[in-house]
Structure 1
């Protein structure tokens, strides 16, 4: 067979040149070697169709990632266009920037603290009104609303100045906040908190007495030194806790009760329910001051901010918070049973028993997550929900 292949090859024309003869001889030799080895196909010269198929498959493999990336980019562009259409955005439209600015302002005020301030002030005032219903005058309603506005201004001032000085930490821990996310400039934030602070001070100095104005001013000063250098008390665990406990625990509860009594023309008294809610929320503020740092360990360590969470670890601080809050609930249930003349015992006992059950359930969930970042964030949100629930109970205890 090899001899036939060799002798049967047509002589190439002389014009084809030496290159063609060399190629022909190499091809013939290849066929000879393949024949002698018994191989069914040519080894050194594959059929042209096989080469083309190999090249086509290699091209498809190389093109597949490029095609996938192009599809993803087209999907992203389409989604962005759809979002712009839904929001009414587009070139020359001011609706989207305005909505974005309002959303940034809303995040800037830290809504979970706003809810706590509103619920606290409404619950405390409602209790005073229920106890002195004969002294209610509807003409006082605008004054009460102005007082609530002043409290919200103070709340926004305190959390706002904290974001201005915590921007580097927030870029790690809370990148969704408006300054850290680049949605709001620091100059804009300064204008906002300065305006809100002046509005709040004007309200309390105009409509409320000197005593309430002094308490209000004190809360603003404490909120400032919590965040502003050189004091920046938030860098040390105990001073930071003292600031939060004093503002959120004592000043809010005592100040709102005192202001409500003064508006009705009745003397302020440390009655059992008032003393209870002030003491309970003060202890709760201790828990919040420790739990608020649980999701922020990474950024706090990076900026050398010392907290109980960075010092003791998230697991220990979380369980200590659960234990302290459970003790708070046990004391509330004990007071409800021991002082039936001073409290509404069914509400005090059953209400706090239900809340303690939810607390244990949430603590169990946190433990099963291995104190993951997601579990810690859920736990901290739940602590605030329990804080809101206490103010829901307060008018009825």
Structure 2
């Protein structure tokens, strides 16, 4: 309520002057004052909604940045390779039990955190290079700060080691420690390390991780720790190692093809920087095709007819898709090269489902 003091002069006011020696004196009489209360509309308080919207938007942006910080396609590949290696330990249908899935989770969860660390430390070490080669990544684009990235990577590493120790599987612990050592040496820029600057050492890291450490340790984890069986090396595991020998080398060489500009500027002597993108590209393609050829032959030697058909036709189809798409890659376009690189991973993902069938 707001009060206004209004003065109203009545029409019957009497005014008169009287004369004195001091002058004229004005006298006013019959003056009335009326107080009038005037009501004005009140405004109720409305809580702002912008704060909650901003908070939700911030959370959404952080999760999107974290998603790309983790390199999701490598994590999917790691997950499928783990499942594939664990399935090799399955000898009969009754092995697919709650015990199997518990053992699978025991392998997947610590390695998921390790993957976050591996991808994170690589981006932290390559921050300036990624501003040229991969400006869309969260650290290079500024979506995540360096400090935030460091904290995420450090916490992920701690969780990975802690979980593997709590689980108590020695094949799993050995795998975590080995991959941590290799990929840290691959990425961080300290004397005698930063192995990615040297093409042979870089290829060795990828080869050992993809071909030896991951499949062998995941299989041994399931075989010895979960199923409590003696150590054996079945035909499927040997085939997986041979297959990944060719495929991992192809990935190791191919991943640097779109990054040649930044690598040259920062003194990373990749094979693409040394020998040219086109030559390395076709070496990689032949490596992938060789891997699929090995898979086709391994499936053909199986004693089971349906396995021969499934693995043979499956890997033949994958090889055909790869060859067809390779002919249309524009090496001068980063988008075209990266699209083909993602195709390489998708074909590998599919092959992970076919490999355990070979017995």
Q: Give the superposition deviation at 1:370.
A: 5.5
**Corresponding residue number in structure 2 for 1:172:** 132
**Corresponding residue number in structure 2 for 1:250:** 212
**Corresponding residue number in structure 1 for 2:196:** 234
**Corresponding residue number in structure 2 for 1:58:** none
CA-atom RMSD, angstroms? 2.1
Question: Which of 134, 144, 153 is 1:184 aligned to?
Answer: 144
Q: How does 1:208-219 map onto structure 2 within 5 Å?
A: 208-219=168-179
Residues 93 and 145 (structure 1), Cα distance of their counterparts in 2 relative to 1, 3 Å cut: same
Residues 92 and 325 (structure 1), Cα distance of their counterparts in 2 relative to 1, 3 Å cut: closer
Q: Map Cα deviations across residues 114-139 of structure 1 (whole Å, 9 max, x no partner).
A: 1101111122223423x243345525
Q: Map Cα deviations across residues 57-100 of structure 1 (whole Å, 9 max, x no partner).
A: xxxxxxxxxxxxxxxxxxxxxxxxxxxxxxx9768730011111
Residues 371 and 359 (structure 1), Cα distance of their counterparts in 2 relative to 1, 3 Å cut: farther
**Corresponding residue number in structure 2 for 1:106:** 67
**Corresponding residue number in structure 2 for 1:347:** 310
Q: How does 1:72-111 map onto structure 2 within 5 Å?
A: 93-111=54-72
Residues 365 and 140 (structure 1), Cα distance of their counterparts in 2 relative to 1, 3 Å cut: closer
3-state DSSP of counterpart to 2:142? coil
Higher helix content, 1 or 2: 1
Q: How does 1:1-397 map onto structure 2 within 5 Å?
A: 93-129=54-90, 131-135=91-95, 137-139=97-99, 141-228=101-188, 229-230=190-191, 231-261=193-223, 262-340=225-303, 344-366=307-329, 369=330, 371-397=332-358
3-state DSSP of counterpart to 1:93? helix
Q: Map Cα deviations across residues 228-265 of structure 1 (whole Å, 9 max, x no partner).
A: 12210000100000001111221111111111112111
C-alpha distance in structure 1 between counterparts of 2:57 and 2:185, whole Å: 36
Show structure 1 runs of 4+ deviating over 6 A. 88-92
**CA contact under 8 A between 1:291 and 1:321: conserved in structure 2?**
yes
Q: Map Cα deviations across residues 179-227 of structure 1 (whole Å, 9 max, x no partner).
A: 1011111111111111111111111112133343122111101110001
Q: Give the superposition deviation at 1:295.
A: 0.9
C-alpha distance in structure 2 between counterparts of 1:291 and 1:256, whole Å: 26
Q: Give the superposition deviation at 1:339.
A: 4.7
**CA contact under 8 A between 1:125 and 1:257: conserved in structure 2?**
yes
C-alpha distance in structure 1 between counterparts of 2:339 and 2:244, whole Å: 21
C-alpha distance in structure 1 between counterparts of 2:300 and 2:104, whole Å: 34
Q: Which runs of 5+ in 1 are unaligned?
A: 1-87
